[in-house]
Structure 1
Amino acid sequence: MDETPKTATMPIGVLLRRSPGVTRWVAQVWTLAGIVPHAPPADWTPLRDDGTVAEFHAATLTLELHRKDTDSLIQNLTAQVPSVWVALRGAGRPEPVKVTASPFEASFHEIDAEDRVEKVAMPAGMVEWVEAFVALHHVDEPFVKRRRDKHREGAAQDGIGDARIAQGADVWRNPQSLRGRR
């Protein structure tokens, strides 16, 4: 029996920056300032405030690596700059809801209209941690092209139509079967 854990987790601190808006319609702009690996729990802890720009340790979320996601992790690690994605929810002051190292999982959150996804460079120690996880769990699966079912290929489907209507005109006929009637 395989005793290797299927997942690995790390608490990640999400740092958000509040800066003044550039238009009169947007008073404040919130952006992702960075992440902190192995961060303690936090709930909008102020880190710095110079009067106009402020940074907060908004939340600590769990980054979870799954052994079935090693393909997406490899894609991330082979990018020019390996990244971590943070999903932020809400207008105004956003709430961090998800942190991931998988570009595929990040794209799922981008599809959702409620979430905004921002990325930040992955720290070097975290890159080594993800590389070790991938080295332990990745298995190359060869591509297998799907083949058509031989027994269904070219099978005639005469007479398929709406069973409630007893008209021959409503029934779909195979064009080849119509040639045989002439």
Structure 2
Amino acid sequence: MTQKHIEVGIVVERRAVDSPWIDHAWTPLAVLPEPPPLPPWTELPGTPERRSIYLGAATLTLHSVDTAHFRENFQAGRAKLWVAIRPTGVEPEIEFVGVTADPFEGEVYAENVGDVVEALPMPQAVAEQVLAFFEANHVEREFIKRKRQEHDPRKGGGPRPEPGTRRGEGEA
């Protein structure tokens, strides 16, 4: 299995919310095509209600077995990267979970209760690298539909009806 690692930067947003239970919420905001020369948790220009923060560098890993999924990502329209973060309840308030170009892996991220997942636009420079990886590693695999064997009731495989009853009668 071939892999490629692409370093990207992750930007998150802390926005004020009107709720009796919480005063703010976090969400992934953008993926940068390469990590900027900033330390993690650098606050970027914004407003007090919507603070943008550079969370830090992250590694997008491409696997050759996932190339068909990358194709689906590009065929769906504007290609996306799925970014997942998780509230921690302590300082720092969130942690990075992962970034992926595979829509199915993005769906798995979304199934984790409590994680915040966003499908963000894939930067052009990253899209070019993902497409080049696809071209170099994709192998078309023929879909083979499994054929079911016909059931032969004479060979067993289930409760037999009592003598003198039809199937379904007398069953609970």
**Normalised by the size of structure 2, how large is the TM-score?**
0.79
SS of the equivalent of 1:80 reads coil
Q: Where do 5+ consecutive residues of structure 1 fail to align?
A: 161-171
Corresponding residue number in structure 1 for 2:168: none
What's the counterpart of residue 117 of structure 2?
A: 117
Structure 1 residue 125 displacement after superposition: 1.3
RMSD of aligned Cα (Å): 2.6
> Which of 3, 12, 16 in structure 2 is aligned with 1:16?
12
Q: Deviations over 1:29-68 (max 9, x none)?
A: 3222211122158431222254443211113221000000
CA distance in structure 2 between the aligned counterparts of 1:50 and 1:109, rounded to whole angstroms: 29
RCO greater where, 1 or 2, for CA within 8 Å and sep 6 or more?
A: 2
1:75-94 aligned within 5 A: 75-90=72-87, 93-94=93-94
CA contact (8 A) 2:73 2:101 kept: yes
- The whole-number CA distance in structure 2 between the counterparts of 1:51 and 1:148 is 61
Q: Where does the alignment leave 5 or more consecutive residues of structure 2 unmatched?
A: 165-172
TM-score, with structure 1 as normaliser: 0.75
Number of residue pairs matched by the alignment: 159
| Structure 1 stretch displaced more, 111-120 or 34-43 | 34-43
Supply the AA of the counterpart residue of 2:16.
Answer: P
Native 8 Å contact 2:28 2:84 kept in 1:
no
- Please list, as runs of the form range in 1=range in 2, the aligned pairs for 1:90-105 lying within 5 A after superposition: 90=87, 93-105=93-105
Residue pair 1:20, 1:27 contacting (<8 A) in 2 also: yes
Asked whether the equivalents of residues 86 and 118 of structure 1 are also in contact (C-alpha less than 8 Å), the reply is yes
Fraction of identical pairs, as percent: 30
Cα distance in 1 between the residues matched to 2:148 and 2:16: 60
Q: Which amino acid aligns with 1:81?
A: R
Match of 2:52 among 49, 55, 72: 55
Match of 2:126 in 1: 126
Q: CA deviation at 1:88?
A: 1.3
Structure 2 residue 137 is matched with structure 1 residue 141 = no
Contact kept in structure 1, 2:80 and 2:101, CA below 8 Å: yes
User: What is the match of residue 167 of structure 2?
Assistant: none
Distance 2:87 2:48 in 1: 24
User: Which whole-Å CA distance do the structure 2 matches of 1:19 and 1:116 have between them?
Assistant: 14
Whether the aligned pair in 1 keeps the contact of 2:73 and 2:102 (CA below 8 Å) is: yes
- The farther-off stretch of 43-52 and 28-37 is 43-52
Cα distance in 1 for residues equivalent to 2:56 and 2:95: 8
